[in-house]
Amino acid sequence: MTGSQDAARAEEDTTPTLRLQPPCERLSGCHKSGVCSRSYFWVVMVFFHVYILNVIALLFYVHYSSGQEDASRSRDAPGGGRPDAARPPSGAEFVRDVSLTRIDGIRVGHVQKVSLVAGKAHEMRTLSLKPLLFEIPGFLSDDECRVVMQLAQLKGLMESQLMVQDGQEELAKELNLSPEEIFNLLDINQDGQLQLHEILTHSRVRDGIWLTPENLREIYAGLNADKNNDGLLNLKEFRLLSSDAFQHFLLQRGVKRSQLVRNSRHTWLYQGEGAHQVLQDIKERVTRLTRLPPTIVDLSEPLQVVRYEEGGHYHAHRDSGPVYPETACTHTLLAANTSTPFETSCRYITVLFYLNSVDGGGETAFPVADNRTYDEMSLIQNDVDLLDTRRNCDKSNLRVRPTKGTAVFWYNYLSDGKGWVGEQDEYSLHGGCVVTRGTKWVANKWINVDPDYQRQARYQQLVSQLPQEESDEGPALNAETQQSSVHQEL
Ligand code: OGA
Ligand code: CA
Ligand code: FE2
């Protein structure tokens, strides 16, 4: 015990004795006012001290209890959530209390053991870091592959891309822009010339027709468009073309399936309650593989099964679009209170399953995987178009051979550094190389997450409040799945 504590103890000991002297007894028998006023003084002092001690104790109590509350709040809201953010979702904001696990690739070639089914360990190999891409052999058993292909056949597969629509010519007539305006919009690098890739990119997006540089030169020759034969179109040359000359030329010549962005057939298989056990098992295994909250996987798109015939392909693309401030996700539109022309599927992860081993071709190509830099312009250079999976798969940085039962998965978005979805990963560019022999069967499981945490949370809350049958419709709200309204039946 220290000296000051001793002194405090001594003080405590003396005060009660003084207080116990009954002042009124003394008052009745006292004649000297000095005695009375002294005892009165002591009584007042004692009460005063007790009062002060009580006030101090109260202040300490208030201070410590509010401090604890603050501490528990900041634990719930990493990244400094506002005090009102801890309140339940009747308010505007949800607490950011969920973060998404992102698997560490370590380095290319690194193999990690993963536990996906009881009593068995799978090996997961890192194929690239940009995008973060893994391969898991034997993810599906032969029986599971067979059941998925059979269920898809039973349901029926539809063309993945329709042939050039009749409405296309109408669309061209409606185009209310002058040739100068169109020229300016197409001239991305604004050098006053239309390079091959400036035209090719446009026709792929607008018409879904995949022209090669040769095709384009053929069209120029057919229309006598490139007068000085330098492979470029200047404004004068462009003006001489009528607005629908291109489309007209293509339609006359006829477009083959092999000249589309994608040549395959596909269908969707529901994986929720009541679905075939194999489909539910696959969903469960994907949840374990990705280590994401089960609700997020449950509310994602159904399983897409794709079949490529011999000669089939899918040119390089990204499975999901970029994130702008105005971007809305198809799956959370229900919870968005804005309308926007920027809508994308927000597929955070792609899990791709090979359902058969292909006799020839059909690799999945990642043209720019682990490239030191990414340069959109250098993807299409003169005669080499790295996006063309019918011709240039051999020039891709990475190719995965389809092997029955193998799964590959990758992240289409980077992390935001705070445990949620960030920017689109431009390196996630990939495509299906042309199948040179036999057929190719794959399935896609896309995990949809809204990069806007609040919107994802609001969506999940809304779906959880719906009656059971209706909440099963959650994934069906995707535009693509709306096309086939019967996907829940399988
Ligand atoms: C897809 C896809 C690749 C492949 O279906 O989106 O990219 O190898 N498929 O079939
Ligand atoms: Ca140009
Ligand atoms: Fe894809």
The predicted-structure confidence for 169-181, as pLDDT tens digits, reads as follows 666 666 778 889 8
- Residue 319 CA to ligand 3 center (angstroms) comes to 5
Nearest CA to ligand 1 atom 4: 432
Q: Which residue has the higher pLDDT, 44 or 372?
A: 372
Name the CATH superfamily housing domain 169-259: EF-hand (1.10.238.10)
User: Looking at residue 39, what is its pLDDT?
Assistant: 76
Q: Which residue has the higher pLDDT, 57 or 163?
A: 163
Q: Is it true that 110-160+264-465 and 169-259 share their CATH fold?
A: no
Ligand 1, from 161, 265, 306: best to mutate by most atoms within 8 Å of Cβ?
Answer: 306
Say whether pLDDT at 469 is over 60.
no
DSSP letters, 88-124, are: -TTSS--------------STT-EEEEEEETTEEEEE
- The mean-pLDDT minimum among 120-129, 238-247, 431-440 falls in 238-247
Residue 246's pLDDT band (cuts 50, 70, 90): confident
- CA of 317, closest atom in ligand 1: 7
- CA of 364, closest atom in ligand 1: 8
Nearest CA to ligand 1 atom 10: 432
- Residue 459 CA to ligand 1 center (angstroms) comes to 28
306 CB under 6 A from ligand 1?
A: yes
3-state DSSP call for residue 378?
Answer: helix
Could you give the percent of the chain with pLDDT greater than 90? 56
Say whether pLDDT at 167 is over 80.
no
The residues that bridge with 305 in the sheet, in sequence order, are 267, 443
Residue 229's pLDDT band (cuts 50, 70, 90): confident
365 CB under 6 A from ligand 1?
A: no
pLDDT in tens, 22-51: 433 433 444 445 555 777 767 777 766 777
How many Å separate Cα 400 from the centre of its chain? Answer: 23
- What stretches of 291-367 show up as alpha helix (H) in DSSP? 294-298
Question: Which of 460, 367, 389, 374 has its CA nearest to residue 424?
Answer: 374
- Residue 233 CA to ligand 2 center (angstroms) comes to 9
Q: Which residue has the higher pLDDT, 385 or 47?
A: 385
User: Looking at residue 353, what is its pLDDT?
Assistant: 99
User: Looking at residue 255, what is its pLDDT?
Assistant: 84
Query: Which ligand sits closest to the CA of 443?
Result: 1
Ligand 1, from 161, 403, 430: best to mutate by most atoms within 8 Å of Cβ?
Answer: 430
- The mean-pLDDT minimum among 52-61, 128-137, 321-330, 469-478 falls in 469-478
CB 432 within 8 A of CB 425: no
Q: Show the tokens assigned to 350.
A: 């792609």
- Residue 447 CA to ligand 1 center (angstroms) comes to 15
CB 306 within 8 A of CB 264: yes
Q: Which residue has the higher pLDDT, 374 or 80?
A: 374
Ligand 1, from 442, 446, 447, 480: best to mutate by most atoms within 8 Å of Cβ?
Answer: 442
How many Å separate Cα 293 from the centre of its chain? Answer: 13
Q: Show the tokens assigned to 454.
A: 């609040």
Say whether pLDDT at 490 is over 70.
no
Question: Which of 86, 12, 79, 17 has its CA nearest to residue 50?
Answer: 12
Question: Which of 316, 402, 418 has its CA nearest to residue 137?
Answer: 402
432 CB under 6 A from ligand 1?
A: yes
Mean pLDDT, the chain, integer: 82
Angle (nearest 5°) at CA 303 between 301 and 306: 125
Could you give the percent of the chain with pLDDT greater than 70? 76
Q: Where are the domains of the chain?
A: 110-160+264-465, 169-259
Rounded-to-integer distance, Cα 267 and Cα 276, Å: 15
User: Looking at residue 377, what is its pLDDT?
Assistant: 78
What is the domain class of 110-160+264-465 according to CATH?
A: mainly beta
CB 456 within 8 A of CB 332: yes
Residue 383's pLDDT band (cuts 50, 70, 90): confident
Rounded-to-integer distance, Cα 335 and Cα 450, Å: 11
Token pair 């020839």 in the structure block, residue: 360
- CA of 444, closest atom in ligand 1: 5
Say whether pLDDT at 77 is over 50.
no
User: Looking at residue 166, what is its pLDDT?
Assistant: 59
Q: At what angle do helices 213-223 and 245-253 cross, to 10 degrees?
A: 110
Say whether pLDDT at 71 is over 60.
no
128 CB under 6 A from ligand 1?
A: no
Count of other CB atoms within 10 angstroms of residue 62: 10
User: Looking at residue 35, what is its pLDDT?
Assistant: 53
